[in-house]
Amino acid sequence: MTTKNLLVELFVEELPPKALRKLGDAFAGVLADQLKAQGLATDESVVTAYASPRRLAAHISHVWLKAADKAVQQKLMPASVGLDAAGHATPALLKKLQALGADVSDPAAAVAALKRAPDGKAEALFYDSLVTGATLDTGLQKALEESIAKLPIPKVMSYQLETDCALPGWTSVNFVRPAHGLVALHGSAVVPVKVLGLKAGNLTRGHRFEAAVDPVLLQDADSYAQVLARDGAVIASFAERKAEIARQLAAAAARMGGGVRAIEDDALLDEVTALVERPNVLVCEFEKEFLGVPQECLILTMKANQKYFPLLDAGGTLTNKFLVVSNISPSDASAVIGGNERVVRPRLADAKFFFDQDRKKTLASRVAGLDKVVYHNKLGSQGERVERVREIARGIARKLADAGVQGAFDGNADQAALLAKTDLVTDMVGEFPELQGIMGRYYALNDGLSPDVADAIEDHYKPRFAGDALPRNLTGVVVALADKLETLVGMFGIGNLPTGDKDPFALRRHALGVIRMLVEKDLPLELGALVAGAAPAFGDKITDASAALTEFIYDRLAGSLREQGYSAQEVEAVLALRPQRLGDVAKRLAAVRAFAALPEAPALAAANKRIGNILKKALEVDPHVSEVLLQEPAEIDLYAAMKDVLPRANAQFDAGDLAASLQTLAALRTPVDAFFDGVMVNAEALDLRLNRQGLLKSLHDAMNRVADLSRLAA
């Protein structure tokens, strides 16, 4: 029996655009997985997903009309339960065999057909049978129902279909959108499956306005995309449609010359791809007077409200032209262009009005308004939050100034922290929350504030996502750290912690933001002191959870380092010491990696682990060593080697050459191995035992200044 290719299409009303790509991939993926699980498709079968605004489809190659029969061996029960002392079948065994469809008319023959084999400590009975392979009719029915059940539907609709039985009536159906057609073709043959009240056929619908024929007849599974494009005026593939839109956007921008380009936004491109079946990019424009409004406002309103692609000049400045992706291709597009230009004008006028009105009040005059904005019912208003951020920022600035950082305590951070949230009560941010911080910067400059403060007002939200830029100046870093620490300390203090994939206050992102600023800016700040120093700003509103929060941040750091390519062993070795200066972590990791490559590393790591276990059992150990009590040659040699090696290694550590420090310690391998071969640490004489423990404690402390080397042991 040969295989044929399979096509399944579900024709529906317009699907939610932001979910379309995921819906299309899930529909095809689950369908193929279910067919493979039933033996109707193989691992070599190629799956092609199709998704357009009004259809989900899948093309699966090499699908069997019937799966091969399969030999199955099934464990029944222990032999002691299934057979009596004489070896005859018990009632329990006969009942089990009967349930499996076996012939039990001759119990002796039924027992003889069974296999007996060891199963753990006991012997068990096994039944061999031949399971008939699934047919495509039944297998596809099951796969189709499963794929629909597992669709990641954002929100289900309930609608009714008229029944097709003798009795009149209606039946309710739940799906993402009302479904109107089902195609199922195995080669050119229709597979008789039903779903959502629909029977499979070979007819589908094309473009609402531009299809050459309606309905569109599909002759076979392989011609689906070509026939739909030719007769239905629809590009069925999401990826092909997206590529075509990108090509047309680039071509339209290039025709304008001067380095003009369409704004890059993959999420917007995906959304527009999900809105059109046959794209046609058109150039539109708006009045130049609107360019006086901050371009972020204009770009956001065009993208978010209208799904337009703004055009930027070679310098990245917004022009008064934009691109529209139309779903129709009339011979004269002037009406479409004019309609889009009329639609966008009121949006831009609103943005200009908000901007003009907001500039009539200073940011400083808006501070009092934050007292009326609720931040959290347990943590008070945004006004209270601002005061906490100010207090935390002053503490951070003071620590930086004490560490010799110039300009840390010049008052700019306090002013930026005071005004950072004031744009939340402006009309523009009220309409477009995504512009918080951005508008604060514009309004600060309008008020005559220093660029340093204005930049910090915008940047205190950074980094907002993975890969985002950090604040551009020290003032911004201080306020951003204070803002994120206020959120983290406050939420941990009231027990509002992330759970599973739920993190409504973005605490994981805030923790990574703190980490990135401490690491990439190499700030002379200690993590523990930072976290503990933020808690007093809350007074009695919270329970101090500094220890739990610090561990949470180290966990985020560990995950981030593993994503950067460091091994779990390397990360554990460095973070086990809970280094307070996160800016040193990269140097410690590099030193550990270089040490691990040395031939002496495995033996020293194992010895370090052994020493740690000895000291753990000994509890409190004084690292003092008395030379008089050194008796065995191996301990005398180790002590002499330590007197030579440790001062050099410690000097290199203090000078910041961590890799050299660990490499110097590698010279101790031979005397350490000899010590454990020839010396009994836990000697009966108390003075000898304590002295040897002290020797190991001195060695352990010196070896673990960079990292806990025992974590490198296999």
Quick: pLDDT tens for 172-181.
888 989 999 9
Task: Specify whether the CB–CB gap between 216 and 203 falls below 8 A.
Answer: yes
What is the per-residue pLDDT for 119? 82
Give the C-alpha separation, 714 to 704, whole Å.
17
- Average the pLDDT over 251-257 and give the result: 95
Residue 584, domain member (yes or no): no
The predicted pLDDT at position 1 comes to 61
> For position 43, what pLDDT does the model report?
86
CATH code, 537: 1.10.3210
Structure token pair of residue 489 = 């300390």
Q: What is the mean pLDDT of residues 114-125?
A: 84
- Give the pLDDT of residue 99: 83
Q: What is the pLDDT of residue 164?
A: 58
> Which of 232, 256, 291 is where one domain is finished?
232
- What residues contact residue 551 under an 8 Å CB cut-off, 6+ apart? none
pLDDT tens readout for residues 327-381: 999 999 999 999 999 999 999 999 999 999 999 999 999 999 999 999 999 999 9
In a domain, 404, yes or no: yes
> Band of the pLDDT at 171, cuts 50, 70, 90?
confident
Q: Is the dihedral of CA 35, 36, 42, 46 positive or negative?
A: positive
Q: Average pLDDT in the 688-703 region? A: 92
pLDDT beyond 60 at 108: yes
Report which of 484, 434, 142 is spatially closest to residue 296, judged by C-alpha positions.
434
User: Which CATH number belongs to the domain containing residue 672 in this structure?
Assistant: 1.10.730.10
Task: Note whether residue 594 is domain-resident.
Answer: no
- Both 344 and 429 in one domain: the answer is no
Average pLDDT over residues 119-124: 83
Pair 354, 264 in one domain: yes
Residue 167 confidence (pLDDT) above 80: no
- Binning pLDDT at 50, 70 and 90, where does residue 313 land? very high
Same domain, 448 and 519: yes
pLDDT (0 to 100) of residue 714: 67
When divided into structural domains, the chain yields a total of 5
Q: Three-class SS of residue 139?
A: helix
419-435: per-residue pLDDT in tens? 999 999 999 999 999 99
**Domain identity same for 543 and 495:** yes
Give yes or no for residue 324 having a pLDDT over 90: yes
Say if residue 243 is in the same domain as residue 309: yes
Residue 639's pLDDT is 93
**Tens digits of per-residue pLDDT, 63-91?**
999 888 887 788 888 888 888 888 888 98
Peptide bond connecting 215 to the previous residue in cis, omega within 30 degrees of 0: yes
Both 528 and 444 in one domain: the answer is yes
Average pLDDT score over residue span 308-336:
96
CB contact at 8 A, 556 and 508: yes
Within this chain, do residues 607 and 514 fall inside the same structural domain, yes or no?
no
Does residue 121 carry a pLDDT above 80?
Answer: no
Distances (CA, A) of 305 to 261, 268, 285, 429, 432: 21, 11, 16, 15, 11
Identify whether 583 is part of a domain: no
**Residue whose C-alpha is closest to residue 11's, from 56, 58, 49, 51:** 56
589 located within any domain: no
Tell me the pLDDT tens digit for each residue of 257-302. 999 999 999 999 999 999 999 999 999 999 999 999 999 999 999 9
Strand partners, 588: none
Show which of 180, 210, 232 is a domain's final residue.
Answer: 232
Supply angle C-alpha 367, 369, 372, rounded to 5.
130
- Range in 125-129, 268-272, 625-629 with the lowest mean pLDDT: 125-129
* 192 Ramachandran zone, left/alpha/beta (phi>0; psi -120 to 50): beta
- Out of 232, 265, 289, a domain closes at 232
pLDDT of 492 above 90: yes
Residue 55 lies in a domain: yes
Residues 434 and 513 in one domain: yes
**Residue 363 is assigned to a structural domain of this protein:** no
Residue 641 in contact with residue 671, Cβ under 8 Å? yes
Q: Mean pLDDT across the stretch 452-457? A: 97
Q: Are residues 461 and 488 in the same domain?
A: yes
Q: What does the H/E/C string look like for 628-687? A: HHCCCHHHHHHHHHHHHHHHHHHHHHHCCCHHHHHHHHHHHHHHHHHHHHHCCCCCCCHH
Going along 345-393, which residue ranges are E strands?
374-376, 380-381
Distance CA 657, CA 651 (A): 9
Please report whether residue 579 resides in a domain.
no
Same domain, 225 and 251: no
Which residue, chain included where needed, has tokens 């050299």? 660
Mean pLDDT of 555-569: 95
Q: How is residue 181 written in tokens?
A: 């057609």
Q: Residues 575-595: pLDDT tens digits? A: 999 999 999 999 999 999 999
Three-state DSSP class for residue 138: helix
Do 489 and 410 have their domain in common?
Answer: yes
pLDDT of residue 672: 92
Alpha carbon distance 353, 654 (integer Å): 60
Instruction: Compute the distance between CA of residue 61 and CA of residue 323 in angstroms, rounded to an integer.
Output: 38
Range of lowest pLDDT (27-36, 153-162, 265-274, 605-614): 153-162
pLDDT of residue 380: 95
Residue-number span of the structural domain to which 287 is assigned? 238-358
Q: By percentage, how much of the chain surpasses pLDDT 90?
A: 78
- Quote the crossing angle between the two packed helices 601-618 and 686-703, to the nearest 10°: 130
Return the pLDDT at 142. 95
Confidence bin at 553 (pLDDT 50/70/90)? very high
In contact, 275 and 307? CB cutoff 8 Å: yes
pLDDT at 664 over 70: yes
pLDDT at residue 165 greater than cutoff 60:
no
Residue 163: pLDDT band with limits 50, 70, 90: low
In this structure, are 522 and 424 located in the same domain? yes
- For the ranges 154-158, 508-512, 612-616, the one whose mean pLDDT is highest: 508-512
Whether 166 has a pLDDT exceeding 60, the answer reads: no
Instruction: Give the whole-number percent of the chain exceeding pLDDT 70.
Output: 99
**What is the radius of gyration, based on Cα positions, of the chain?**
36
Q: What is the rounded distance in angstroms from the CA atom of residue 310 to the CA atom of residue 290?
A: 13
169 conformational bin, left if phi > 0, alpha if psi -120 to 50, beta if neither: left
